[in-house]
Structure 1
Amino acid sequence: MSKQRKAWLWLVIGLGLMGLACSLSTELPPTLVPSTPIATITPEQAFAPPTLAPQPFAITPPPQAPAATPVNIIRPYNLDQVSTERMMGNINTLVSFESRHVLSTASTTTGIAAAERWITNQLNEIRASSPFPDIRIDVYAHQFQYEFAGQQLIPSNVIMAVTGTDAAAGVVIIGAHYDTMSQAWTTGDNYQPGANDNASGVSAVLEIARHMVMQRNRATLVFVFFAAEETGRQGSLAFVNDYIKVQNIPVVAVFNLDSIGSPLGVRGERFDNKMRLYSEGPNDGANSRQLARMVHFAALNYLPNMVVEVRDATDRSGRWGDHMSFSDVGYPAVRLVEGADDPLVFHTPRDTVDRVDPLYLQRTTQVALAAVELMANGPNPPTLKPLRPSATDPASLTLEWSYSPFCASYIIALRRPDSLVYDRFFSVEGGALSVSSGEFKNYGWVTVGCVDTQGRLGRLAPELPVPTS
């Protein structure tokens, strides 16, 4: 059994043990049809040998490289089904708990315990809505213990795992914290609605989960609602340490959605078509920064009117987020956040529902969903060979890649040495396995992605440096 398949099985086993220990819901119904055993799944063979000898393919890109423009791909249908009404209803419910602080009094109607139960019920409803009885979907709580303000606390992360069809596609994690904080850090029961921070992120993750369970996904999807982010991200740290690292889960992407509902800046200025994206560097070689570029790439192609601004920082100065619990130990992770901060609202009673813009929340959620679609269902990237001098043109370099029967076309992405995102794209047909161009020398990094026969954009291969001599 391969290491990837073992890791996939360990994820199911680990989450199963977690559910036995501390599930907030009833035990899975005995009539639930188990998912297809891994041994019977035929995963995509990403690097299958070619059936014909590779044929050289040469193009001459325009001498003046234009700005990055969308390539010809098909927009995922579910992007247009993101519901503002449903998300705003969920935000209203979360705000009605008055406080979701880890020190809030346990109650059936208010506090973090009530929010935890409500999120669990939502996930159970989403699980029940799936039309695929052979796809295993589990809902669990992950309890962890830590000390805060002189008290021993046992809060819970709430988790839904949706088994994928292809072990080689790995695991994609989509998360948001559901706890709140006020400026009186150790006061649990004062009014702290947390509509934007972070009921907006919770509602977006729930919305994405609703759409993803309605289809079969190549990657296994894990939706996580973290407790104790506001006190130092203890919830995500516990999740990483208790499960991800111990079980060696093959995580290919972590998306942290935190404060994504308001387009307003501190002076009331609007950023209706902009959001920020944070990831750990360095800019060249870090897997989290490469994931950030893929989010930008997905948004550019699927949502060209939404600007995703990749920042050269792990998070805002002096701030933290749950994505850091993953990237700190080597997993690719990013934080999606609205276009500007308003420090006069965060962690105050003014963080109310009326400050969340439904259409802006829809757009930021669509960006996240587009990125999840790319990572969860797009075809695997080809394997690249280092660039070499062209055999026919000394002024050109040749880029070669491996064959994949799932690729209808390939996308070449070029990045300048100081760029955070890709500056130039062009595409070649699926029968081509190489391209020669003098333009490569104008850039510092190159990569290749794949578009399948259904028009789905896939992950980009690890970047290659462009030789300088």
Structure 2
Amino acid sequence: MMMAWIKRHKIALLIFWFAFIAIACNLSSSTRPPTIVPRSSPTPPPTIGFATLSPAELPSSIATPHPDSNVELLNLINQIETDRLMLHVDALASLRTRHVNSQGINQAYDYIRGEFDKITQQTGNLFVFTHEFPLEWAGTRTIQRNIAAVISGDEIGAGTILISAHYDSISQFPEDSVVDAPGANDNASGVATLIELARIMSQRPHRSTIMFVAFSAEEVGRRGSLAFMTDYISSQGIEIDAMINLDIIGSSTGPNGINNDRQMRVFSANPNESLSRQLARSMNLIAFNHAPDMELIVENAEDRQNRYSDHLSFSERGFPAVRLIEAAEEPNRTNTSNDTIDDVQASYLTRSAQTVLVTVTSLADGLRPPRNVSLRDNGGGVRQLVWEQVPGATSYVVALRRPNSLIYDQQFETTENSVTWDGFVPTRFAGVAIAARDENGLIGPLTEEILIQ
């Protein structure tokens, strides 16, 4: 089956590979005055609704940017291997079902654990363990297993980033463990990406600790992630700086022939100033700068109506958590026998994986955000934004959010650790956050948002 797929798509894959070589991210390592990077795109997110600031409206020290390409980041993006992703999807979907009361769930565990163990043998930089928990579903008691793989960070205080995907599947008959539920898109696509990210990221050290977790029993009330939170995260006192949940990320097709292969949705808990929503718009900004081939659309909800996923097990406990999901979801395919590999588009899944890789790299490897940020009133309608310098920073990205906006609508860049401006007023902007850029052009995680009042 896979050989036929590879032959059919050989030319398309070659074209796709060369297309990525041509991408250049709008980064700047110049020592010239600060640069502005307007938040605009050929297809602007529907949540913006505001015009981009003109150069005359910006602080006087801000200059026009000189775009530069980040070869190191481009090389990282190209390490995602499409064939590996599709082989993982095929291996899991071919089990027919991964229902929690089926043999398929055990076979899926063996496969995922085996892939993580292979990575450990190859890199020696991935610690893998199994977390067991009891489950009773449809009158059957079982022992379910979450699979975790950890790369220890090498910088004290850089925190922990958790990336997850659930590996169980279910049909339109939730208690039936026999009926076909291949779950190629929901959620072999997420698990395939999880394994591929672990393979790539375990090949080098990182500032932050990175945890990859494949959850079981998500489809029956996210019992796996709830148990993991109680038994491991809470009991060990682990602070999670960002939880990124990958669930249904492999198809660009939706109802009525819709095809959206350039966007993903990001769901996060309200209110708009919550830590989860701040993580969502930080990822939107990072992708805007570093992954221009995929736009992350920040949604004003924790998930689709009457739906859920494992990120909620973390945001309910106060941790920043988001769910990534494709833009053009086909509800009549999810949780049915029709969720097969035929409806997983290799190019879209690859771009999804690349976007996640870029955002996680920024959060894990970028310089830590500036400390002691304050917005001072200088009088006469002028305010000064001040922060501590970050060792190794070549510049700072200042991100601004319009009133009622879900994302940072505008950003500008400065080499100084302060900005004096008459634009820091609540009628124009509701919040501001700052990130440091390193000598390679990588933007790090943003500060917690400062509300402009």
Taking structure 1 as the reference length, the TM-score comes to 0.81
- Give aligned-pair identity as a percent: 39
The whole-number CA distance in structure 1 between the counterparts of 2:190 and 2:333 is 16
Give the gaps of 5 or more residues in structure 1: 1-56
Partner of 1:399, secondary structure, is strand
The whole-number CA distance in structure 2 between the counterparts of 1:235 and 1:73 is 41
Q: Which amino acid aligns with 1:81?
A: Q
Shift of 1:420: 0.5
The change in CA–CA distance for 1:385 and 1:171 in structure 2 (over 3 A counts) is: closer
Partner of 1:81, secondary structure, is coil
Shift of 1:61: 7.6
The change in CA–CA distance for 1:184 and 1:327 in structure 2 (over 3 A counts) is: same
1:439 corresponds to which residue?
423
2:280 pairs with 264, 272, 292, which one? 292
1:87 corresponds to which residue?
85
Deviations 1:314-362 (CA, angstroms, capped at 9, x unpaired): 0000000000000011111100000022111111111110100000001
Q: Is the 8 Å Cα contact of residues 416 and 423 (structure 1) preserved in structure 2?
A: yes
1:236-251 matches, within 5 Å, as: 236-251=225-240
2:264 pairs with 275, 286, 293, which one? 275
Q: Which amino acid aligns with 1:87?
A: L
1:412 corresponds to which residue?
398
Deviations 1:412-456 (CA, angstroms, capped at 9, x unpaired): 111012110001111011xx2211112222211111110012222
Q: Is the 8 Å Cα contact of residues 398 and 437 (structure 1) preserved in structure 2?
A: yes
1:18 corresponds to which residue?
none
2:309 pairs with 291, 305, 321, which one? 321
1:143 corresponds to which residue?
132
Q: Is the 8 Å Cα contact of residues 35 and 414 (structure 2) preserved in structure 1?
A: no
1:119 corresponds to which residue?
112
Shift of 1:129: 1.9
Shift of 1:309: 0.6
1:29-428 matches, within 5 Å, as: 62-64=55-57, 74=70, 76=73, 77-104=75-102, 106=103, 111-130=104-123, 133=124, 135=125, 137-284=126-273, 286-390=274-378, 394-428=380-414
Deviations 1:254-293 (CA, angstroms, capped at 9, x unpaired): 1100000001111121011011000011102x11111101
Partner of 2:55, secondary structure, is coil
Partner of 2:305, secondary structure, is coil
2:13 corresponds to which residue?
none
Q: Which amino acid aligns with 2:298?
A: V
The whole-number CA distance in structure 2 between the counterparts of 1:78 and 1:272 is 21
Q: Is the 8 Å Cα contact of residues 172 and 335 (structure 2) preserved in structure 1?
A: yes
Between the two proteins, the alignment pairs up a number of residues equal to 395
The whole-number CA distance in structure 1 between the counterparts of 2:347 and 2:66 is 23
Deviations 1:43-85 (CA, angstroms, capped at 9, x unpaired): xxxxxxxxxxxxxx999982357xxx99867362311221111
1:463 aligns with 2:449: yes
Q: Which amino acid aligns with 1:375?
A: L
Deviations 1:102-131 (CA, angstroms, capped at 9, x unpaired): 011x3xxxx11011001111001111221x
Give the gaps of 5 or more residues in structure 2: 1-33, 37-52, 59-64
Q: Is the 8 Å Cα contact of residues 63 and 439 (structure 1) preserved in structure 2?
A: no
The whole-number CA distance in structure 1 between the counterparts of 2:146 and 2:440 is 36
Taking structure 2 as the reference length, the TM-score comes to 0.84
The whole-number CA distance in structure 1 between the counterparts of 2:385 and 2:321 is 29
Q: Is the 8 Å Cα contact of residues 35 and 412 (structure 2) preserved in structure 1?
A: no
Shift of 1:305: 3.1
Shift of 1:87: 0.4
